[in-house]
């Protein structure tokens, strides 16, 4: 019985404290930004409506987009679903490239967020 119970216990983490905290910071920074972005889409202030329409989306899609963003971010924050959440969150580059947005301010910003999201997996193996 002792052997079975010891096999069912989760293994001790083999990650250093420094790597663990680096991973946490790398995951919380983009998550906070994305949670704020999702909430702003639900609230629909004028600037959000204007920029969403500017990049080619209908005004009717703002709230559903906010819901998808919040769900994807929550999935990312749950260790068991973090990879799925990360995949769902790293899809914004194509939209900005398609409409000819400025490279450093609009196209690369989602890339920076994606690097932070995926950098977390480099520092700490999740799930």
56-112 pLDDT tens trace: 889 999 999 999 999 999 999 998 999 899 888 887 666 666 666 776 666 778 888
Q: What's the total number of domains in the chain?
A: 1
For a pLDDT cut of 70, what percent of the chain falls above it?
74
Q: Please, what is the average pLDDT of the chain?
A: 81
Mean pLDDT of the 44-50 span: 96
Contact indicator for 27, 117 with CB cutoff of 8 Å: yes
Greater confidence (11 vs 88) lies with 88
- How far is Cα 99 from Cα 91, in angstroms, rounded to an integer? 15
Name every residue whose Cβ is closer than 8 Å to that of residue 77 and which is 6 or more positions away in sequence.
27, 31, 85
In-domain check, residue 5: no
In-domain check, residue 37: yes
In-domain check, residue 92: yes
Range of 48's domain? 17-123
In-domain check, residue 83: yes
In-domain check, residue 108: yes
In-domain check, residue 11: no
In-domain check, residue 84: yes
What is the model's pTM?
A: 0.77
In-domain check, residue 3: no
Greater confidence (62 vs 23) lies with 62
């Amino acid at each position: 019985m002792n052997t079975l119970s010891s096999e069912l216990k989760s293994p001790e983490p083999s990650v250093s404290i420094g790597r663990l905290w680096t991973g946490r910071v790398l995951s919380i920074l983009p998550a906070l930004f994305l949670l704020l972005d999702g909430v702003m889409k639900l609230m629909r202030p004028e600037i959000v409506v204007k920029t969403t329409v500017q990049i080619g989306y209908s005004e009717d899609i703002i709230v559903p987009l906010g819901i998808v963003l919040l769900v994807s971010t929550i999935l990312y924050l749950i260790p068991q679903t973090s990879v799925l959440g990360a995949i769902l969150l790293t899809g914004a580059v194509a939209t900005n490239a398609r409409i000819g947005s400025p490279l450093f301010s609009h196209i690369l910003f989602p890339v920076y967020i994606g690097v932070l999201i995926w950098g977390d997996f480099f520092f700490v193996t999740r799930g």
